């Protein structure tokens, strides 16, 4: 344990101390979904430390790239040091670029609510606390807003969770890329204690609960 301490301390430089995370929950598919489309589409989510959320979506079939960043605040404070203070309005977020012919926006929401984070936790996920770790769906179009709000209503009516869903559905005002060391973090640092304890179980839950949506290969960042 003593020899692992320096490595453990290094992981705290970004996303706080580690603790066990609950396994994912199988949820019904969205009854309301985005219309079929071709080409590329993007979605922005926030659900705790962006390392784990990024890692989950990098294993979803049809996802082309995932980038970590900051949403909810302004450009001037879009950096890790400021966001870590918890008073910039930003949340650690991910931008998912995907092929809507292979995976729908509703299916991404299904993964987000069931595997990537716990939508009943207010301003915290796992060991991380503060508004920068809040649960949020940042919608870029009226259709995304409609699908997200309808899915939350669907899950609430079905009593899918034992506690109320606190995920914000809010307009996307901007997405600001995080620093290079926060991109592809799980893929590049699979054995750090934080990843092994908090984030690797999310990917395993995706594979177990939604095998039809899981791919072993990591989506390429860009």
Task: Domain of residue 84: give its range.
Answer: 37-209
Assigned domain for 30 exists: no
Residue-level pLDDT at 23: 74
- Residue 124's CATH number: 3.30.1060.10
Q: Note the pLDDT of residue 13.
A: 41
Domain annotation covers residue 215: no
Tokens describing residue 122: 């207010």
Looking at residue 220, its pLDDT comes to: 72
Cβ-Cβ contacts under 8 Å for 28 (sequence gap 6 or more): 110, 154, 155, 158, 160
Measure the CA–CA gap between 70 and 178, rounded to whole angstroms: 7
Cβ-Cβ contacts under 8 Å for 150 (sequence gap 6 or more):
30, 31, 32
Q: How far apart are CA 133 and CA 123, in angstroms?
A: 6
E strand intervals along 77-208 = 91-98, 124-125, 128-129, 135-139, 168-171, 176-177
- The answer to the question of residue 21 being in a domain is no
pTM given for the model: 0.90
- Which of the pair, 118 or 18, is modelled with greater confidence? 118
Averaged pLDDT, 181-196: 96
Q: Are 138 and 93 in contact (CB under 8 A)?
A: yes
Does the pLDDT value for residue 5 go beyond 70? no
Is residue 70, in this structure, part of any structural domain at all? yes
Q: Into how many domains does the chain fold? A: 1
Domain assignment present for residue 58? The answer is yes
Residue 8 inside a domain? The answer is no
Residue 166 contacts residue 122 (beta carbons within 8 Å): yes
- Is 23 within a domain? no
Catalytic residues: 49
23-81 pLDDT per residue, tens? 789 999 999 999 999 999 999 999 999 999 999 999 999 999 999 999 999 999 999 99
Domain presence at residue 218: no
| Residue 110 confidence (pLDDT) | 98
């Amino acid at each position: 344990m003593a020899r692992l301490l320096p490595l453990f301390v290094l992981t705290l430089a970004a996303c706080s101390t580690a603790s066990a995370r609950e396994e994912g929950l199988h949820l019904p598919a969205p009854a309301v979904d985005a219309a079929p489309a071709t080409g590329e589409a993007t979605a922005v989510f926030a659900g705790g430390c962006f390392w784990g959320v990024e890692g989950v979506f990098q294993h979803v079939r049809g996802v082309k790239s995932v980038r970590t960043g900051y949403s909810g605040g302004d450009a001037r404070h879009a950096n890790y040091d400021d966001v870590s203070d918890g008073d910039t309005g930003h949340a650690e977020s991910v931008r998912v670029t995907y092929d809507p012919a292979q995976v729908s926006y509703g299916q991404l929401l299904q993964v987000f609510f069931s595997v990537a984070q716990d939508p009943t936790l207010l301003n915290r996920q796992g060991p991380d606390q503060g508004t920068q770790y809040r649960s949020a769906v940042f919608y870029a179009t009226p259709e995304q807003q409609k699908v997200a709000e309808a899915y939350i209503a669907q899950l609430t009516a079905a009593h899918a969770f034992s506690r109320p869903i606190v995920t914000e559905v809010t307009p996307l005002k901007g997405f600001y890329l995080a620093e290079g060391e926060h991109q592809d973090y799980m893929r590049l640092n699979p054995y750090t204690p934080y990843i092994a304890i908090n984030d690797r179980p999310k990917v395993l839950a995706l594979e177990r609960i939604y095998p039809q949506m899981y791919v072993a290969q990591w989506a390429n960042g860009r």
